[in-house]
A and B are shown apart, each in its own frame.
Chain A
Amino acid sequence: MTIQEIEKEIVEEFDIFGDDWEGKYEHLIDLGKSLPLIKEEFKTEDRIIKGCQSRVWLNSELKEGNVVYTADADAIITKGMVALMVRVLSNHKPEDIVKADLKFVDTIGLKEHLSPTRANGLVSMINKMKADALAFIK
């Protein structure tokens, strides 16, 4: 599936909840719980995204031309958001990742998590994901 197709799939998944924010957040929390954890050896200081209330770890690797992300967060809602980002961006060509606009976050009504406060590390994480992808483009 392309990045756009995965985004569409997520939008449909969240559509079920309509205005029911509690349902939406319960789903997000479930997603957070299901995120495959980053390998413990990767939970290092240099992989931590600092300056946020919840800590986020990100590891990026290039496998057969695709970027593979693994990530973790210590707050479950942040982790749910991280899971969504990994699902959308992981296993794609670096060129496609760099171009992704991630509009689905707005569409599913979770844009507040991308506000430029220091509360969660999401914006910094997306920047890091794209920067890592860019670094893989030779």
Chain B
Amino acid sequence: MKEQNKIRDQFPILNQKINGYDLVYFDNGATSQKPLSVIESISDYYKNSNSNIHRGVHTLSRKATELFEQARKTVAQHFNVKNDQQVIFTAGTTDSINMVVQGLAKNYLQAGDEIILSTYEHHSNILPWQLWAEENGGKLKVISLLDDQTIDYAAIPALISSKTKLIAITHVSNTLGLITDLEKIKTIAQKNNIPVLVDGAQSAPHMPIDLQKLNVDFFVCSAHKMYGPTGIGLLYLSEKWLKDLATSKPGGGTIKTVSFEKTEYADGALRFEPGTPNISGAIGFAAAIDFVNLVGINAIFDHEHELVQYAQKKMSEIPEVIIYGKSNHKAGVISFNVEGQHPFDVGTLLDKYGIAVRTGHHCTQPLMNCLNVQGTVRISFAIYNTKEEIDIFIEKLVKVIKMLS
């Protein structure tokens, strides 16, 4: 408890009232709050080190470049990436996926090729592929879910053909919190020599990820869901794709030499980071990782798992509550509905009680269709959430149900 208070003290935003009630922030799946160390790292950078990077000969430019490249190292170490250059800073998960799709479309994907996705993908891991498919005569094949909303792994081999060029799959469902068994996906993919892209937007904040061990082709995530700033994220490329992925965003900083006849591009990460990058964002991202490591990613997972177990048990005692994706193998997310009530109403009234939840389709409309619902209410946890907050949430949820019925 004392430890918990120490952690909460790092997040000044949590200490406020909403409509006269103490804020209970349960919308971490959308974005987490930021600890003081992250906020200060960005402010310190602008106060003391701001300069453009990689080209300047002056002291400030060297300082900023060092901080930026140190951030890359911090990210690489955290995810156990062999070579720092495999860490590419992007604007976030969505940007990373778009870069992969557009890059592959240039020299790898062809008309008639097929991409395999799952039913519980976020729209960010559907729309870029769908656009490619529509424009280039490609095809998307979708892995169905079982009755408990987990992935039907047994159905995958039947989806694979000689035209299958990639499996793009989310590590943790943003809507349900269910964890994909990547080993099973990899076994099937490797057997058929198919590259794998893992959308780690919802896994990176909650569980340890070792990219050497994971050994996939692409891994993407966002800093802002793991205590870092918005507008910065990771695109990890395997050594093969660091060389082979075509660049889709040419620009300053990505080159060795330029002439109007021919341009030679830089090696490594710089090839994918055109223009002035989000320097303060990268520094904030590194500070967020330092925070995560200070607390311990395993401690974060255990804490959130305990909160999910506790909340699910309490919620199951309310007869009107329907929980989706009940499997035990899940990260800190619970999606639910109140029987006969619209999620929008439940969310609106919870907000009046100071409880921040997400309602709607969570950018997973195909999953909503599969569940046969318009939307759900989602609560999602972070390291600073407490059982006391869950008790408040349960008490208010019961009140809300009464108000609506």
On A, residues with C-beta under 8 Å from B are: 21-22, 25-26, 29, 53-55, 74-78, 119-120
Residues of chain A with a CB closer than 8 A to B359's CB: 53, 119
Assess whether A75 is in contact with B345, with CB atoms less than 8 Å apart: yes
Q: How many residue pairs, one in A and one in B, have C-beta atoms under 8 Å apart?
A: 40
Residues of chain B with a CB closer than 8 A to A120's CB: 344
Assess whether B403 is in contact with A74, with CB atoms less than 8 Å apart: no
Q: Which residue of A lies closest to B399 (CB)?
A: A22
The residue from B344, B352, B403, B404 contacting A53, defined by CB atoms under 8 A apart: B344
Q: Which residue of B lies closest to A19 (CB)?
A: B20
Residues of chain B with a CB closer than 8 A to A53's CB: 343-344, 359-361, 375
Assess whether B349 is in contact with A76, with CB atoms less than 8 Å apart: no
Residues of chain B with a CB closer than 8 A to A26's CB: 403
Assess whether A74 is in contact with B404, with CB atoms less than 8 Å apart: no
On B, residues with C-beta under 8 Å from A are: 19, 341-345, 348-349, 352, 359-361, 374-375, 403-404
Residues of chain A with a CB closer than 8 A to B341's CB: 76
Q: Which residue of A lies closest to B359 (CB)?
A: A53
Among all A-B residue pairs, the 8 with the closest Cβ atoms: A75-B342, A75-B344, A53-B360, A54-B344, A53-B344, A75-B345, A77-B345, A76-B345
The residue from B344, B352, B361, B404 contacting A29, defined by CB atoms under 8 A apart: B404
29 contacts between A and B (CB under 8 A): A21-B19, A22-B403, A25-B349, A25-B352, A53-B343, A53-B344, A53-B359, A53-B360, A53-B361, A54-B342, A54-B344, A54-B345, A55-B374, A74-B342, A74-B374, A75-B344, A75-B345, A75-B348, A76-B341, A76-B342, A76-B345, A76-B404, A77-B344, A77-B348, A77-B349, A78-B344, A78-B345, A119-B360, A120-B344
A19 to chain B, nearest CB (A): 9
B267 to chain A, nearest CB (A): 43
A73 to chain B, nearest CB (A): 9
Given contacts A53-B359, A54-B342, 4 further A-B contacts (CB under 8 A): A53-B344, A55-B374, A75-B342, A77-B344
Q: Which residue of B lies closest to A21 (CB)?
A: B352
